């Protein structure tokens, strides 16, 4: 019988994945797969999940949010584990899973995975770390890192908006230099997002982004007067297009460099990212995935 490595975060979202375990095993057994589970916890490194990987494994099933997916993907790339991944979106932030069309119902998601083909997708890379959805820096990037976990799990994406609005009065200009073949930006900004996917906080910023084109979508919100910033924020909440909007730089690239000497952090899908300077690249076809609805 073929094997599936099932890596799950028991604390993701509403912590319901443990109660779904029997259903996950049952569905996979119907398709002649044996589930081999690994529970993510602080006591044991995620590398322990891969100690028994052999030719009998057909894919890695990940239950968690974007941060959990990133952790697994980074370990797989580090170990050169060449297996497809599949995603059960049970986290608070499921932007990438939503983008590729994964159902939130575990039963439906398992059947979609087991009845789909393997597809190659891109990965973003920021210095020596990979990301599946978005890397960011600026005034909003520490929201998820500073957020109270109970608030995050209780009201989900609304928590990000609440914390973001709280920060509006504290906006300050941030000096940054962004260099790519397509654009040179050397000036003041409030926020910068680099997308492999399309959404952040369930808001569809990078509506033109494609996960298999070998390019990343870059959005820079330039520093300006508060009226313009509020208008941009409203457009974001409404999921309106951000191209040709005053105060925004939007372009596609496969490689960019970022220099910044401000006291700000970087963020990779809700987790702390590397320090400046940054080299961000797109690894075309960097990983295989099962279950995606993207054609």
Region 4-16: mean pLDDT is 82
pLDDT at 159: 47
Lowest mean pLDDT among 11-25, 37-51, 129-143, 221-235: 221-235
Cβ pair 87, 119 in contact under 8 A: no
Region 121-134: mean pLDDT is 97
CATH topology of domain 2-116: Rossmann fold (3.40.50)
Per-residue pLDDT band at 206 (split at 50, 70, 90): confident
Per-domain boundaries in the chain: 2-116, 129-285
Region 269-281: mean pLDDT is 94
Query: What CATH number was assigned to the domain covering residues 129-285?
Result: 2.60.200.40
Region 36-50: mean pLDDT is 93
pLDDT at 133: 96
Per-residue pLDDT band at 139 (split at 50, 70, 90): confident
Lowest mean pLDDT among 4-18, 60-74, 232-246: 232-246
pLDDT at 197: 95
Cβ pair 157, 237 in contact under 8 A: no
Cβ pair 144, 270 in contact under 8 A: yes
Tell me the C-alpha distance between 83 and 59, whole Å.
5
Q: At what angle do helices 21-30 and 106-114 cross, to 10 degrees?
A: 30
Task: Please provide the distance, in angstroms rounded to a whole number, between the alpha carbons at the two ends of the chain.
Answer: 30
Per-residue pLDDT band at 155 (split at 50, 70, 90): very low
pLDDT at 18: 80
pLDDT at 24: 96
Region 255-263: mean pLDDT is 95
pLDDT at 292: 96
pLDDT at 13: 59
Region 62-74: mean pLDDT is 94
Region 187-204: mean pLDDT is 89
Looking at beta carbons, which pairs linking 24-32 to residues 24 or more positions away fall under 8 Å?
24/61, 24/88, 24/106, 24/110, 27/107, 27/110, 27/111, 27/114, 28/4, 28/110, 28/114, 31/114, 32/1, 32/2
Region 32-37: mean pLDDT is 97
pLDDT exceeds cutoff 60 at 188: yes
pLDDT exceeds cutoff 70 at 236: no
pLDDT at 157: 46
Per-residue pLDDT band at 169 (split at 50, 70, 90): low
Region 78-98: mean pLDDT is 93
pLDDT exceeds cutoff 50 at 154: no
Tell me the C-alpha distance between 191 and 35, whole Å.
42
Lowest mean pLDDT among 116-125, 145-154, 192-201: 145-154
């Amino acid at each position: 019988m073929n094997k599936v490595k099932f890596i799950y975060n028991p604390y993701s979202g509403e912590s319901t994945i443990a109660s779904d375990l029997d259903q996950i095993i049952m569905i996979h057994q119907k398709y002649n797969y044996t589930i081999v589970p690994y529970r993510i916890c602080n006591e044991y490194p995620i590398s322990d999940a891969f100690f028994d990987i052999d030719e009998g494994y057909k894919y890695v099933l990940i239950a968690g949010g974007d941060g959990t997916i990133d952790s697994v993907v980074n370990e797989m790339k580090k170990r050169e584990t060449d297996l497809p991944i599949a995603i059960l979106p049970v986290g608070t932030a499921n932007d990438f899973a939503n983008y590729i069309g994964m159902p939130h119902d575990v039963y439906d998601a398992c059947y979609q995975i087991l009845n789909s083909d393997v597809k190659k997708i891109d990965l973003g890379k920021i210095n020596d770390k990979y990301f599946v959805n978005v890397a960011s820096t600026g005034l909003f990037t520490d929201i998820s890192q500073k957020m109270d976990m109970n608030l995050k799990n209780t009201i989900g994406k609304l928590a990000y908006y609440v914390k973001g609005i709280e920060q509006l009065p504290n906006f300050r200009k941030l000096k940054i230099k962004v260099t790519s073949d397509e654009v040179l930006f050397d000036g003041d900004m409030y926020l910068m997002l680099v997308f492999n996917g399309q959404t952040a906080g369930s808001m569809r910023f990078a509506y033109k982004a494609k996960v298999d084109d070998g390019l990343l979508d870059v959005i820079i919100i330039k520093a300006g007067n508060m009226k313009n910033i509020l208008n941009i924020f409203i457009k974001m909440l409404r999921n309106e297009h951000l191209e040709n909007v005053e105060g925004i730089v939007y372009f596609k690239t496969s490689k960019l460099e970022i220099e910044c000497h401000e006291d700000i952090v970087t963020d990779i899908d809700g987790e702390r990212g590397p320090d400046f300077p940054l080299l961000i690249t797109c690894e075309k076809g960097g990983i295989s995935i099962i279950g995606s609805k993207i054609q």
